Amino acid sequence: MRVELIQHTPEPEKVVAAAARLCYSSDPVPDLLERLDDEVVASFVRKLREMGHLSTFEHVSFQFSIDGVSRALSHQLVRHRIASYSQRSQRYVEEKGFDFVVPPSVKRSPQALERFEMVMARLQEDYQELLNSVPAEDARYVLPNACTTSLMATFNVRSLLNFFEHRTCIRAQWEIRSLAEKMLELVRVVAPNLFSEAGPTCITQGICRQGKYSCGRLKTLEGKK
């Protein structure tokens, strides 16, 4: 898996603070931006987050390049609908000798790994043979969820916070959890105040919404207090 932060809104935290101050000021945005120093910006961001006033967070966006992840992951990722995605097409791009993601549980079992790799090899051969007689858009029907893909994804901050809340949770599927953790690490470098409280609710809010499916981490955290 390779994840890169391609670009983002310049001075993201200052943009959020200016948008918040604009609601209560007669001054234009450029003037507000000039008067905001780092201390004021950090204070504004913290107050907005604590009060749950996150509409101003939507003015800031982050764009990611994501490579070497499975189609299984991409199908989960696009469920986060308040974002924009572009993905390598299996209709127009042939997947000859495709790479694939091997789950950790499969790697831990020599027998399972042997079977998994045998299935992948057979599917690669079947896909190649089908390409000789049908269009790639039809041959792709035999491609597995393990087949790797590349995406570009753009989120605003509010949507990212929601994504991190759900996908850094221990109960999130292992691959998309790894992706979320890498993305969170990247954005925290750029906007530490915006993402200082990002993560699963057991850590950020002291609650768990998983009900009977809870991993139990909240109880562990409460026991350390």
Q: Is 217 annotated as a binding residue?
A: no
Cβ atoms < 10 Å from Cβ of 200: 25
Q: Is 167 annotated as a binding residue?
A: yes
The full DSSP string for 20-89 is HHHTT-SS-HHHHHHT--HHHHHHHHHHHHHHT--GGGGG-EEEEEEEEEEHHHHHHHTT--SEEEEE--
Our answer to whether residue 167 is catalytic in this structure is: yes
Q: Which of 156, 131, 122 is nearest to 9 (CA)?
A: 156
Q: Which of 202, 205, 206, 194 is nearest to 155 (CA)?
A: 194
Q: Is 177 annotated as a binding residue?
A: no
Q: Is 84 annotated as a binding residue?
A: no
Q: Is 196 annotated as a binding residue?
A: no
Q: Is 162 annotated as a binding residue?
A: yes
CA distance 145 to 28: 50
Q: Which of 6, 11, 5 is nearest to 59 (CA)?
A: 11
**Which region, left, alpha or beta, applies to residue 127 given φ > 0 means left and ψ of -120 to 50 means alpha?**
alpha
Q: Is 209 annotated as a binding residue?
A: no
User: Which three-class secondary structure state does DSSP give residue 149?
Assistant: strand
Q: Is 80 annotated as a binding residue?
A: yes
Catalytic residue among 167, 171, 188, 217: 167
Q: Is 150 annotated as a binding residue?
A: no
Q: Is 55 annotated as a binding residue?
A: yes
Token pair, residue 108, equals 């831990």
Q: Is 33 annotated as a binding residue?
A: no
Binding residues for FAD: 55, 79-81, 87, 156-158, 162
Binding residues: 55, 76-81, 87-91, 140, 156-158, 162, 167
Binding residues for dUMP: 76-79, 87-91, 140, 167
Which residues are annotated as catalytic?
167
